[in-house]
Amino acid sequence: MLGFLAMRLLVAVPTLIIISILVFSLQMLLPGDAALVIAGGEATAETIARIRAEHGLDDPLPVQYLRWITNALQGDFGISYRTREEIGPMLISKIPVTLTLATAALAISLLIGIPAGIMAAIWRGRGWDHLVTIVSLIGISVPNFWLGIMMILLFAVTLGWLPAGGYVSPFVDPVAGLKSIIMPATVLGTALAAAMMRHTRSAMLTVLQQDYIRTARAKGLVERIVITKHALRNAMVPIITLATLQFGTLMAGAVLTEQVFSIPGVGKMVVDAVFNREYSAVQAVTLLSGFVFVMLNLLADVLYFWANPKLRSRSL
């Protein structure tokens, strides 16, 4: 196990370094001058030159990168040119909001996708299987922003059951928090639930055709035991991998959903930063997203190792 983790860490560290270089380099290609943004449109050339010197914007790019990554590793991503707030604490305050939204969306997708996929595999070629296929295609095809708007029109405007936007922490007010998170979590979880249905169905169909499943049935085991104890347990390996990696997608894919529902999370922060040319904030969020994906990939490998007996036996 330790050797397996060491190999994955050896891959993760250079990957993070490459991501940081790409984030910094691509930021340099964006239009606009950060010094001009700080100084204002009517600033003189002397003022702009002074600001560039103060912030090290006229240093060579390798020097700027080393200074930026050193500060980033200490949690210092600079300050907002517009609000003069430190970006690090601002980002930290947004993470729990997006994390809550992504966790709720993942829970919805698992609660819908796994049971539906199992039943579709058990009743392959029957009505339920066709229904799951149709629903999954619709779920993958429908854009998140359109579904969000339609849900707002139905549940907030027409029925008045849920708030149209905003966010209340479930730790502050559980009822209000649930009401504020249920629609955006459903919007985010719909596409993942559709993918989870198809993935679970495919994994279960593969496992149900194995010899040990036929042996278990030949021994007279109850079908429920065969499905839950033998088939599902072995089919969970690819499902765990998908769920782990998709959690990172939910974290990064909350941009449009948070914008539609006015949720003050990381996604809305990066959209506002792009509109206001807050390049330091965009760098911070992008670097955080890359770090999350790499760590979740590492977690997926660990869970895959834990759930797959063949890998464990090879490491012994």
Over the stretch 25-45, which tens digit does the pLDDT of each residue have?
776 666 666 666 666 666 677
For position 200, what pLDDT does the model report? 87
Two tokens, residue 225: 């035991």
> Which class for 122: exposed (0-12), middle (13-18), buried (19 or more C-beta within 10 A)?
middle
Q: In this predicted structure, what is the pLDDT of residue 147? A: 85
Q: Residues, the chain, total?
A: 316
Average pLDDT, the chain: 80
Q: Taking phi first (over 0 means left), then psi (-120 to 50 degrees means alpha), and beta for anything else, what does residue 5 get? A: alpha
Q: Which residues contact 200 (CB under 8 A, 6 or more apart)?
A: 113, 114, 116, 117, 118, 120, 121, 235, 239
pLDDT confidence of residue 38? 64
Q: Which domains does the chain have, with CATH numbers?
A: 95-266+301-315 (1.10.3720.10)
- Structure tokens given for 230: 């033998």
Radius of gyration of the chain (CA): 24
Q: Provide the whole-model pTM.
A: 0.78
Which range (4-13, 31-40, 43-52, 116-125) has the least confidence? Answer: 31-40
Q: Which residue has the higher pLDDT, 41 or 306?
A: 306
